[in-house]
Amino acid sequence: MRKTKLAAVALAALSLLSPASSRADGARNVIVMVPDGMGLADVTATRIYKGGLAGSPLSFETLEHIGYQRTYSLNSAITDSAPAASAWACGEKFNNGEICLHRDGRPVKPSVLELARRAGKATALVATSTITHATPASFGAHVVNRSCENEIARQYVETTHVDVLLGAGTGKFNAARPDACGTMGNFAQEARNAGYAHVTTREELERAVAAGHRLVLGLFAGDGGMTPEYLRTAATTEPRLPEMTRAALRILERNHSGFFAMIEGSQVDWANHADNYDYQLGEMLAFDEAVAVVRAWIDADPERKEDTLLVVVADHDTGGFAVNGPQSALLHAGQKVEPGWTTGEHTGVDTIIWSQGPQSRRLARAVDNTDVYDVIVKALD
């Protein structure tokens, strides 16, 4: 009897001595950052513009692990953002247009955001598109058609209860006409009734953060998305992506059980659809800044570094963007490459994954996009 008790005490002491090994496998915080539609050439061009050919890496390039993922969807070699993000969020292939829900009614798993919430963690979605757009929606809603953005807004507020929502999409949260799912309603009012601070400018967001709000609905622009970086002026009252990122972290860090956040540079994709290099460059630089904000937050505390899984991954390439020149000259900081695009649509190439933190070594190889889900679930376990 006494011997058994001693053995138990010894075992307990051993586990106390080695908390690092178990903690290293689990993540208190999970942050997924998505430069939508970013290919490797976008990275090259942005890095050159920032620091020249031999310049410093972008903020996500120096994460500990680098791998790449297949992006195809259930019904197409060329994915759209809906099944691409749903593969990460819900762990399986979906048809183009589907947001973590199958048209044939097959059951789906809860999203990683929902799993995090069940574990008592705070949750956030941040984007420069409508916050009800396909990428954020895949983490916080289940609909068979990505254009059901009113329904996605409704689910955020009524079903998923995402704590922090920052992006565009005023009309989706106060919809007088039904969407493709037949949903309409004033979900911003519902959110306010449920205790959300509803903010519409950078200043209001900063005030809500300073006031200690834990539930924040930030809708800073209409249904066309937030103002692109290259079109912003001194009069623009919308927060930039790095500012929304910082605000989200300050709100989320108040939860002692940790958090899940998805932060998207949504318009890298739109810039590549438009074959617009200045647009792409602005969005890429802002995304890079947002990653720097996250890394500074992580590096401010050694425990955060050990407890935070950070994954930076593009959902697909858009445009087949390439660095075509100059053919016989160098490039220095502030100089632009000669850009080219092979298409105005998405392409089917693999995309890079940069990561660090618990479980991230499993992303340092060639994987499928659904494997990202497995890694996040293991880290949340």
Q: Closest distance between Zn ion and the C-beta of residue 360, in Å?
A: 22
Nearest CB to Zn ion, comparing residues 81 and 355 = 81
Pull the structure tokens for residue 165. Answer: 């929502």
Q: Give the residue, chosen from 36, 114, 238, 264, that forms a contact with Zn ion under the rule CB under 5 A.
A: 36
Cβ proximity to Zn ion: between 151 and 315 the closer is: 315
| Residue in the block written with tokens 């490797």 | 40
- Binding range to Zn ion, per CB under 5 A, among 143-151, 216-224, 261-269, 354-362: 261-269
**Does residue 283 contact residue 231 with C-beta atoms inside 8 Å?**
no
**153 near 206, Cβ under 8 Å?**
no
Q: How many CA atoms lie within 13 A of 70 on its CB side?
A: 12
Name the residue nearer to Zn ion (CB basis): 81 or 276. 81
- 203: three-class secondary structure by DSSP: helix
**CB neighbours of residue 65 within 10 Å:** 16
CA pair distance 167, 220, nearest whole angstrom: 6
Residue 73 Cβ vs Zn ion, minimum distance, rounded to whole Å:
11
**Shortest approach of Zn ion to residue 35 CB, angstroms?**
9
Span interacting with Zn ion, options 35-43, 237-245, 336-344, 348-356, rule CB under 5 A? 35-43
Which of 78, 364 has the CB closer to Zn ion? 78
Distance CA 289, CA 291 (A): 5
Instruction: Give least dist CB 308 to Zn ion, A.
Output: 24
| Options 8-16, 73-81, 321-329, 362-370: segment touching Zn ion (CB under 5 A) | 73-81
90: left (phi over 0), alpha (psi -120 to 50) or beta: alpha
Q: Does 69 bind Zn ion (CB under 5 A)?
A: no
Q: Which stretch binds Zn ion (CB under 5 A): 41-49, 75-83, 188-196, 278-286?
A: 75-83
Question: Cβ 334 to Zn ion, closest distance in Å?
Answer: 29
Residue 21: both structure tokens together: 């090994």
Residues 6+ apart with CB under 8 A from 131: 125, 153, 156, 165, 166, 167, 168, 169, 172, 219
- Residue whose CB is less far from Zn ion, 81 or 267: 81
Stretch that binds Zn ion, among 76-84, 120-128, 162-170, 232-240 (CB under 5 A): 76-84
Q: Decide the pairing of beta strands 65-70 and 366-368.
A: parallel
- For Zn ion, the nearest residue by Cβ is 81
Q: List the interface residues with Zn ion, window 294-323 (CB under 5 A).
A: 315
Q: Rule CB under 5 A: is residue 81 a binding residue for Zn ion?
A: yes
- Residue located via tokens 């941040």: 126
Q: Which two tokens stand for residue 240?
A: 């930039």
SS3 at position 145: coil
- Catalytic one among 15, 21, 59, 81? 81
Q: At closest approach, how far in Å is the CB of 89 from Zn ion?
A: 13
Residue 283 near Zn ion by CB under 5 A: no
CA quadruple 281, 285, 291, 297: dihedral, nearest 10: -170
Instruction: Based on the residue annotation, tell me whether 15 is a catalytic residue of this protein.
Output: no
Q: Which residue lies nearer to Zn ion by CB, 229 or 315? A: 315
Nearest approach, Cβ of residue 266 and Zn ion (Å) = 8
CA angle 46, 43, 35 (to 5 degrees): 105
Catalogue the active-site residues: 81
Binding-site ranges for Zn ion (CB under 5 A): 36, 81, 269, 315
